[in-house]
Structure 1
């Protein structure tokens, strides 16, 4: 009876079409498009209007300090330890209570994302693959989203990297806008993930021309000129 009640509530709030689409994606077929993005590590970040945040302590994630994730990311404690053991570079940001409120990861080698998408993300020489960036809701809209990337870029540059690459879901508009704000460029590649019956996954990379992000960019202010009569 609980399932039908939840279904009824979902239809009430989201509508029948959205509910049917969600059921179809969950139980039958789903297609995710991950856009490949890139950026050098030296070009300044464009100006932004993000608000400041209270000071946090940055620590490198190790297999021995992941209990800091227990409060806000309790389901990630084991995953964080595994990534650290594999040798990826991870940063976490701790509040005054020693609780992790944000984190981000970078990998200099081909990254097998077995925890989420289930596929391999190749990394070329001189690049690093950025993944897993997340912060709790209290820090949304703050400069932490910029600082955690800049600090990771600096750490990876010290390891010999000169470019950051990552992927972003095409339907994740806030994340795409963050990439635009940070000055990322599209590579013209898409990692396609197909899921059948909520169980089997298949992967295929495709290419595209032009831009998928132009519609999200803020139009430049038009110059106003006055002409003398």
Structure 2
């Protein structure tokens, strides 16, 4: 499909304003806010209501078994093998056919993200940086989104880590809500990623006080009280 046809189709589906906004962000200037989050590795995950899923096997990712990503994550096979060779801890959850349906990574040292954001994420002693978590669509809304994390926490705890840190895009509401449900806390730090003309990227850390996520939290139900007499 030509660029003109793609543009026309996008305008028809999304409207002119949304199309111009997307084009500006892609070709001229974009600003991404990545909120730093943290959590200890031993506090229980708050109660949640997520669907169950069929049994899966948790497997440590190695350069040799990265071929398991071929079916559902075919464009990631080389990246998965590369991360394993670089010594990061990766888990994949494998179905009964031997195909990886979910994966997640942990870095117990400073992590330079050359595959996506292109910036350095510093990691303090005792922490690990969690990144790259993803599930196939069939497992969205299931408890795998929780188990994917907690299995990695166990592995990193065994390596001497006591805290998980990660970043979450401020516009990614579902991911932010998952962090809230999982018991993460805001650090009050933002990694700002700027991109100019789709070529140059710049990075700046900023800070804030209070919470940026209060609007996403479910209001707590106050106990019913007897009417005043």
TM-score, reference length from structure 1: 0.98
List, as ranges, runs of 4+ consecutive aligned residues in structure 1 with deviation greater than 2 Å.
Answer: none
Larger deviation: 10-19 or 148-157?
A: 10-19
The corresponding residue for 1:61 is 61
Q: How does 1:189-204 map to 2 (within 5 A)?
A: 189-204=189-204
Q: How does 1:50-129 map to 2 (within 5 A)?
A: 50-129=50-129
The corresponding residue for 1:5 is 5
| Deviation, structure 1 residue 222 | 2.6
Q: How many residues align?
A: 229
User: Per-residue displacement from partner, 1:114-144 (whole Å, max 9, x unpaired)?
Assistant: 0000000000000000000000000000000
In 1: Cα distance, 2:81 partner to 2:180 partner: 31
In 2: Cα distance, 1:228 partner to 1:73 partner: 61
The corresponding residue for 2:139 is 139
**Cα distance change, pair 228–195 in 1 and its aligned pair in 2 (3 A):** closer
In 1: Cα distance, 2:218 partner to 2:91 partner: 31
In the alignment, structure 1 segments of 5+ residues that lack a partner are none
In 2: Cα distance, 1:14 partner to 1:173 partner: 20
| Deviation, structure 1 residue 2 | 2.3
In the alignment, structure 2 segments of 5+ residues that lack a partner are none
User: Per-residue displacement from partner, 1:4-27 (whole Å, max 9, x unpaired)?
Assistant: 221112112211111101000111
User: Per-residue displacement from partner, 1:17-61 (whole Å, max 9, x unpaired)?
Assistant: 111010001110010000000000111100000010000011000
In 1: Cα distance, 2:35 partner to 2:142 partner: 24
The corresponding residue for 2:209 is 209
In 2: Cα distance, 1:224 partner to 1:131 partner: 42
Q: Are residues 1:174 and 2:178 paired?
A: no
The corresponding residue for 1:162 is 162
Q: Are residues 1:46 and 2:46 paired?
A: yes
SS in 2 for 1:51: coil
SS in 2 for 1:212: coil
TM-score, reference length from structure 2: 0.98
